[in-house]
Chain A
């Protein structure tokens, strides 16, 4: 009898021990595939490789960014409303939205590359050490800015971390995230000021332009700081050589990429072979579509189930051949106008499906319109001559009537001008949010189209995947 009792005791003890040993604290597993970075970090060309890897990582971002910006606004719609596209355009997104997860991952990958450079900056031997550091700060700031606008409070990752470190990086209040973004862009400016580079790398001019946008987008906008930065840039003789091209069409011309109007762009090269598609997986020379410039083809009838980011009827009504003689043909593919599906003409594939078309992140007319915005500040209108001059420069280039001296520039006019000038360039949704117009305008848009918009749709869901692997460490955004 005693033995039985002991047996039971013993079994209980073993089971308890087994249960206890399941707790995570002491369990460490080393990854045998973890690459050793030491040789790279000891080689001067190593940092260039990491830098290139950082830009390479950023090339993935434009592939999906339009889906969570233009499609989530009143500008873009998909041909068939399938899957994620339909969920986004009709404001029926859920926590497992694939495009939200992609955006999260792709931006944090860029941040990882930037952090490897910044953590090891003492080891950089290259003569352009400061440029490498500056570009890392630039990209870390830009990716966090992307994340903050898309998800709201986000972890600001300021060093190379491993998955176990996640609890050190909770979702930070948005105002703190913005402070850190400002600080990174300022570090980028001071490191990059004495270097010049093409617009497909981080430069001091691009950092100033983006920092101005950060100031305007912050939860408590800093219009005065934005204006100081923009005052320098809107000068026709600005030291960065930025200018408004005379021809709107040439801004987007394939043989004129990285022109004087482009402040920051993601460059792509044309592929010699078509991107891989589901029926061509055995072609080993084909580039995997997800790694390439895929947005051009996706926006046409040849891609993504007949095209996504087509013009909404509302956008077509705003930009007509009569009202916008110059911007209409550049914005819309003429062969599709009048049908239900109107394709964007700014980012059409250059030849076949092998597009090497750059993605423009920021260009000079945006800077001019931000200048007017910074001067208008918290008000709904301005009669300031400098604001009107900057606004009119964009209008006049587009061949539409400028506003007369003595007239006021209203917030509504400025918002509409941005919509027309920057259509399909992933600005509309964040413009609406920055101008405090997202809820009224998208509510109306949603009602008109039978969609399901609420203010909660202005933030993407924190990817369910990220919450699952962190035991719901990141609180979900409201409404998901």
Chain B
């Protein structure tokens, strides 16, 4: 019996030793009585989702940061100084802070920003993750080039009257038509703004709102005569918002289909209304009768339709050689070989 007890004692001793050995294998530094190991320590993680708004375009700077940590109860975010913490729910009493589970941020603009989330549990264990957020403005689609008809000023049929390099470019309410002419190495291939006449070009075309466009026009001025009325060429881009009320533009594809009157602009006062002008450029005589390329640019603003209006100016307001529109070209002839409008992408 005594021996039996002795064995039992040995076993008990062995047992206690083993338990002690097992317990001391835990990595818990200073276990308190009754402590259990933290078998599910926190693991920090989050996702950042761009607002990528439809409108307004500033939306792309806003990000929704959503906590995806595991086994965590408390959170501490670190964000760069120039990044703003947003309160998207201003109706409630909760003011977001850097200890909220999910936060919303506004970045100052494009760039790469580091955001850190430290998540912890109630045992004080923590886990940290840092992510680089690359803020990129969403791409915009390429704007298509507008379609101008007879932009090379070829001698083509009109809806009435004889063929003209000005076909497709006539608005009888605001000027006389340009004249067919030759130059720049061709024949019947340029349009002429005759001296001392109210000659013009006018055509409406379709644009994408809020887009940039480039106008390129190739012109030639006759050498200055030295008179008191030097000719100048004026080019305007007129907003569709300034069209006569109720007018809807039609975009013809063939010069023969173009009417010669009844367009969106029907008076010079309407043309000269400042608010209607997206672009006004004036070419002075370059003292070189060769063909020179001029490049301008404009933004379409809120318009989906605009009109290009080009005329010779510099002469006396009245008493010229043509109709009475309150303007005339000056002493020299001007010719244009082509005009193009392209989207600036």
Contact = CB atoms under 8 A, between A and B. Distances in A.
Interface in B55-108: 55, 59, 62, 64, 66-68, 70, 88-89, 91-92, 101-102, 104
B52 A406 contact: no
A406 B305 contact: yes
B139 A411 contact: no
Given A411-B54, A436-B50, A447 B209 contact: no
A447 B66 contact: no
A197 B55 CA distance: 43
Contacts of A412: 54-55
A47 to B, nearest CB: 45
B102 A454 contact: yes
A259 interface: no
Nearest to A414: B54
A4 B7 contact: yes
Given A381-B141, A383-B143, A447 B4 contact: no
Interface stretch (A116-124, A361-369, A437-445): A437-445
B249 to A, nearest CB: 9
Chain A: interface residue count, which band?
Answer: 35 or more
Contacts of A376: 141
Contacts of B89: 447
Interface string A439-462: 110011001101000111000000
Contact of B45 (A4, A381, A383, A478): A478
A4 B52 CA distance: 78
Contacts of B104: 443
A447 B51 contact: no
A454 B304 CA distance: 39
Nearest to B57: A380
A413 B47 CA distance: 27
Nearest to A444: B88
A401 interface: no
B160 to A, nearest CB: 27
Contacts of A408: 208-209
B137 to A, nearest CB: 10
B144 interface: yes
A408 B144 CA distance: 12
B188 interface: no
Contacts of A436: 49-50, 52
Nearest to B138: A380
Nearest to A475: B70
A440 B53 contact: yes
B45 A439 contact: no
A247 to B, nearest CB: 29
A411 to B, nearest CB: 5
A445 to B, nearest CB: 11
A424 B141 CA distance: 32
A447 B91 contact: yes
A362 to B, nearest CB: 25
B192 to A, nearest CB: 32
A415 interface: yes
B304 A455 contact: no
B206 interface: yes
Given A4-B4, A456-B68, A439 B140 contact: no
A479 interface: yes
Nearest to A447: B89
A356 B254 CA distance: 57
A336 B206 CA distance: 46
A379 B139 contact: yes
Contacts of A447: 88-89, 91-92
Given A380-B140, A437-B54, A478-B68, A406 B91 contact: no
A415 B55 CA distance: 13
A443 B140 contact: no
A411 B70 CA distance: 35
A149 B149 CA distance: 49
B207 interface: yes
Interface in A254-277: none
Q: Which of B53, B54, B305 has the most CB of A within 10 A?
A: B54
B218 to A, nearest CB: 27
A444 B88 CA distance: 7
B3 interface: yes
Given A381-B141, A455-B66, A439 B7 contact: no
Contacts of B101: 454
A407 B304 contact: yes
A94 interface: no
Contacts of A439: 49, 51, 64, 66
Interface in A387-407: 404-407
Contacts of B7: 1, 4-5
A406 B52 CA distance: 24
Given A406-B304, A410-B55, A479-B68, A383 B144 contact: yes
Contacts of B3: 1
Contact of B139 (A1, A378, A404): A378
A440 B131 CA distance: 21
B4 A1 contact: yes
B74 to A, nearest CB: 16
A216 B142 CA distance: 21
Contacts of A455: 47, 49, 64, 66, 102
Contacts of B102: 454-455
Interface in A229-281: none
Given A1-B3, A5-B7, A415-B54, A456 B66 contact: yes
A418 B4 CA distance: 85
B64 A440 contact: yes
Interface of B: 3-4, 7, 11, 45, 47, 49-55, 59, 62, 64, 66-68, 70, 88-89, 91-92, 101-102, 104, 138-141, 143-144, 206-209, 251, 304-305
Given A408-B209, A450-B92, 13 more contacts: A1-B7, A8-B11, A383-B143, A383-B144, A405-B206, A406-B208, A413-B54, A439-B51, A454-B67, A454-B101, A454-B102, A455-B47, A456-B66
10 nearest CB pairs, A to B:
A412-B54, A478-B68, A447-B89, A406-B304, A455-B66, A379-B141, A406-B206, A439-B49, A411-B54, A440-B51
7 contacts: A378-B139, A379-B138, A406-B208, A406-B305, A407-B304, A415-B54, A443-B88
